Each structure stands twice: as structure tokens, then as C-alpha cells.
Amino acid sequence: MSHKSSMHEGGESYSGIVLTKQPNQSGQPPAEVVEGRPLTKENTPEPNSYRTPSRESGRSGLERVREAARKDGKLKFTALLHHVSSDLLRESYYSLKRKAAPGVDGMTWGEYGEDLEARLSDLHGRIHRGAYRARPSRRTWILKTDGRKRPLGIAALEDKVVQYAVGKVLGQIWEEDFVGYSYGFRPGRGQSDALDALWVGIVRKKVNWILDLDIRSFFDKLQHEWLVRFVEHRIGDERVVRLIQKWLKAGVVEDGKWFQAEEGSPQGSVMTPRTQKVTWVRP
């Protein structure tokens, strides 16, 4: 039981998910009736039917992207890369873990920050003129509880910065598409929140059975072509799609040898969970 379980007594689960919310459209999944669907902390205001509504960078531009995504679930965004500004890259850098292990570049967070503004200016230029190149991830292995080993991919510091920034932009769109009972890799939500919502559902609703499952080697066997197809349902900016493809195809380095990536996506990457979860939005 979560320490937050007492919050359920008032009829609400954690993170402002109201139990009594009724479906506002026919066909809404029953589980969403239990949980509701509040906005995660981010933004709002003004759409356009064909292109990203604003070419201005910064928070207001992202707010407009999110508002457009919220108002039109079928809108395909064709101009997004300009939102990856120098300011957003800087924000991304400061959002990374300070003591994370370095990737194939050997660059630590502190070392990159020694000449931060010059590095970010150069990175921003390469991204927007198409000269940015993704580096392979450094593969390491961690033990699982059952004795097996799980591969972990450590991206180069610069790749982490770009991935975080692009993920921030894409999140404005996909956060409006996710169902209310989706908790994985989402801002302001976590494992304990999912357990709280599950507890509320079991206690307050008539539950006859619970299904617990795990998809074997999901990250390792993911098909690149299908992932890109899912992304392209909403993302029409080819430059952003190419960035995702670069990260997927960058491969991994292990014991000094490079291995090409024909399928799968490195676990541990900043971008991996952000692209995987797009396959779990409500149709």
C-alpha cells in the first residue's frame, strides 16, 4: 500500500485523478472512467490545421503545440524542429543526471559544461542544418533478479541533450493522446501513482480479475519500421523523424566493437521510453 492511500478516502486518487469523472464520449474505456484524465504539468492556447501553430521558440511556442494537439487528435505536425532552440538545449543539459556514466565520447556532464554556451551554439547549428550525427551507445550489462543480464545503452552526452530536447517537444503532442490509465515514462507520474490508481479501482469498483503480463525483450525486438510508422501518425516534420531514425540506427559499441542495430532500441537512452510509449496511445 502506498503512503498516499489515505487520499483515496476523499474520493480521489493521487495526482488529481478524480474517481467520479464520467465518460465524455462514447466508447471511452471503462478504466478511464475510474481514473479520469488530468493534464500533466505543461501548457496550453491556439491551433492550426496543417502546420505547427507558431514558429517562435520557447515556452509559448510549445504551449501552442500542445493546445493544437489537444483540440485536434488527428492533426499532423509538419514544423516542429524550430522548437529545438538553444534555450531548450540548455534546459535539456541541466535536466540530465550530473553523475551519469559517460558514453562512447567519454564526456561527463561537468566536462561538457566547461564551455557550455559555445558547445550548445555549435550543436544547435548542426541540428538545424542537418549536420548533426548520432553516436552509437556504449553497451554495458546489469544483472536481473533472476540471474540473467539486461543490456543497457549509454548514449553520448551530446546525444542525451538533443534527445531530451526533442522528447520535450514531442511530449507536448503525445501527452494529449495518452489514455488516463497510462503511467509509464510520463512527467509527473510514476510507479507509485499507478499502484495508487490500481488500489482505487480494486476497492471502489467491481473487479473480477486482474491481468499481469510482461512482454519479453520488448525493447530488444522492437521493429524500427513500425515504430516510425506510429510516430508519423502525428509527426509530419521529416527532420524530426530523421533524428529518431539516426538514434535507432546508431548501433552500439561493446568491448571496442561496433554493432549495427537492425532492430530494438537501447534501454537507458533518454529517447527510448519517449518513442516506445507512442505505441500505447488510444486509437
For 2-39, what is each residue's pLDDT tens digit? 444 444 444 333 333 433 333 334 344 434 444 444 44
Residue keyed to cell 476497492:
203
Q: What is the pTM of this model?
A: 0.73
User: What pLDDT, on the 0 to 100 scale, is given for residue 281?
Assistant: 52
* pLDDT at residue 5, as a whole number: 42
When pLDDT is averaged across residues 162-176 and rounded to a whole number, the result is 95
Return d(Cα 9, Cα 2) in angstroms, integer: 13
Which of 30-34, 70-74, 78-82 is predicted least confidently? 30-34
pLDDT at 188: 86
Query: Per residue in 84-96, is it b (16+ CB within 10 Å) or e — as a string?
Result: bbeebbbebbeee
Q: Please report which helix (H) or strand (E) contains residue 30, including its range.
A: helix 30-35
Question: What's the one-letter identity of residue 20?
Answer: T
